[in-house]
Chain A
């Protein structure tokens, strides 16, 4: 069984507290032991950067160092957390002086950033470390006939030095959806548009305009839902889409939820039944394996 450290970020709180337990089980089904690195904290959400970039580097050097202390790579299930952590890793790996300064601060806690742990975003992790063959093999409830628009989100595409997919032609989500038995829809209008999440608490009006663009395009292209590997895009498309004027009302699902459901977990455990914009596919088929 492959073992990887797990970074929780702020994704598994509020109404999503159950998600970590589900993920743990789902990954075990895929022969991966995810070990929660308990002391890891919020990455700063690409917001604390406004107050102090050095603080963000320190917090995230600590987050990575905690995984390094256990000799594990770090798996991240959020685009923004990934970007912020990866920007820190990039800065520390390319600037020895910064690394030294930060390591002095981390020393008090007995930690050191060495640069030995790889950061994994969940999308490449599933593709490269788990593999499509194994996924296909372990699917218990194929998403047959589910028309799913793929939505990558921004922070795994840009900036270039931390991107995990081709910034101009991202790949991988479609193959994953096919492996789970669903029908991916790519290249719809708005597929490359930002979800607006990060503007909601800085300029709500802009966020509410942004959030409908991808769901609108997906709807026009005949999709029944969107899937995203980012919990923040998901929250925007679920909670904020519901607040928007002329909302297209297209449900959005977070990739791990879909994975859990296809692997046989029920609507509750997968989280799919808790959405503000209901995922109608499950209410029809609930319980039917």
Chain B
């Protein structure tokens, strides 16, 4: 009986000897390896002792063996070999070092840079004052709130897949912001230090460079969700009052316009975020014959929708409040464009109950304003 063999096409590079990287192919019997890491051991022990890769725990705890497998960041120890062979459909399995990290040898990359980022972002606890006589008390709910980011093992699979790292030299990396989030949630941490971490996340780590592609969530072997942690840190930045960042202005746009009209207004974004007049772009579309709506058409049911938003915000306070001054400006604009009172237009489907809606609506607004 012949044993099924798989071909591994492995990246090889020894900067001390090789002028440039090259690939070498190895045949590994499929029954000799439970995981990709086993397959690499097989190569090292039977075919080529010069192959270098990093490993330690063999159980997805230490984070040493992250590498790029068929283009995707993975832990070698957590990648079952047979399914990998099956998915490769007879093509060689490509094994390469993680992207964006300096090569040391073969599959081993230099982790100094991403570790340095953690230091630069000061992702740690500074004890909250006054320091209690005994221990700090932390509730089980609080621990649960940062359980996920705490699971990060710093394998840098996310870093090697990150679209922002690819095009933003300043960008610290997804794992770093998950760690920021984890320490911002910690009640033992000094408030000023939390603020400093968030500020550093923006200024040193360029958290606004994240493109929200969600690849970090996909590749994380521990179920950490960095793209979502990044959203949370951004929200907290807004709450801390860092209003000058374009990203915070964008968020304000979304919150206000969606509350006011049920929609964002893509034509108002350039002005509200960057102070750029959108007219030249609008004109380009008009020149091409497109009909351009300056504001989104008001949606039916808007008053109930506004009610819902206010109710939700009352129950779970948002990181960024609605700017009602802005909302009134939007209302005015909608009224001009559609030549109708915003509420009568919007509530046309509910004409007979108009008074009820108004009363209820203003009650909600005043309740909300009173509460905040």
Contact = CB atoms under 8 A, between A and B. Distances in A.
Do A and B share a complex?
A: yes
Contacts of B211: 194, 196-199, 206-207, 210
A58 B310 CA distance: 11
23 contacts: A10-B263, A13-B296, A13-B297, A14-B292, A18-B290, A44-B254, A45-B254, A47-B250, A50-B320, A59-B309, A105-B311, A105-B315, A154-B213, A158-B214, A198-B213, A199-B208, A202-B209, A202-B247, A203-B209, A205-B168, A206-B164, A206-B211, A209-B168
Contact of B215 (A14, A42, A58, A154): A154
Interface string B262-281: 11111101000110000001
B107 interface: no
A198 B212 contact: yes
A77 to B, nearest CB: 15
B300 A38 contact: yes
Contacts of B208: 199, 202-203
Given A45-B264, A109-B301, 7 more contacts: A17-B293, A18-B290, A18-B291, A50-B231, A198-B211, A199-B211, A202-B208
Contacts of A204: 246, 274
B289 A274 contact: yes
A199 B211 CA distance: 5
A287 to B, nearest CB: 15
A273 interface: yes
B21 interface: no
Contacts of A205: 168
Interface of A: 10, 13-15, 17-18, 38-42, 44-55, 58-59, 62, 83, 105-106, 108-109, 154-155, 157-160, 167-168, 192-194, 196-199, 201-207, 209-210, 235, 239, 268, 273-276
A268 B290 CA distance: 8
B218 interface: yes
Interface stretch (B40-48, B49-57, B132-140, B232-240): B232-240
Contacts of A193: 163, 166
A52 B235 contact: yes
B367 interface: no
Q: 8 tightest CB-CB pairs across the interface, nearest first?
A: A41-B262, A39-B301, A52-B318, A202-B247, A158-B214, A15-B285, A201-B250, A158-B218
B239 to A, nearest CB: 9
A239 B281 contact: yes
A109 B247 CA distance: 33
Given A38-B300, A49-B231, A168-B70, A203 B168 contact: yes
B247 A158 contact: no
B4 interface: no
B25 interface: no
Nearest to B236: A50
Most-contacted residue by chain A among B70, B72, B163 (CB, 10 A): B163
Contacts of B129: none
B262 A42 contact: yes
A273 B206 CA distance: 38
Contact of A108 (B171, B215, B292, B307): B307
Contacts of A40: 299
Given A109-B304, A154-B213, A201-B247, A54 B315 contact: yes
Nearest to B319: A51
Interface in B240-265: 245-247, 249-251, 253-255, 257-258, 262-265
Contact of B312 (A10, A52, A157): A52
A105 B167 contact: no
A58 B288 CA distance: 39
A268 B288 CA distance: 9
B144 interface: no
B163 A13 contact: no
Given A51-B318, A52-B312, A273 B289 contact: yes
B266 A13 contact: yes
Most-contacted residue by chain B among A14, A62, A108 (CB, 10 A): A14
Contacts of B249: 201
A161 to B, nearest CB: 9
B284 interface: yes
B262 A47 contact: no
Contact of B319 (A52, A159, A167, A235): A52
Contacts of A268: 289
Contacts of B225: 159
B284 A276 contact: yes
Most-contacted residue by chain B among A38, A204, A210, A276 (CB, 10 A): A210
B308 interface: yes
Contacts of A206: 164, 167-168, 171, 209, 211
Nearest to B301: A39
Contacts of A198: 211-213
A23 to B, nearest CB: 16
A274 B228 contact: no
A202 B250 contact: yes
A191 to B, nearest CB: 11
B210 A13 contact: no
B316 interface: yes
Contact of A203 (B232, B246, B290): B246
Contacts of A15: 282, 285, 290-292
Contacts of A201: 246-247, 249-250, 253, 269, 273-274
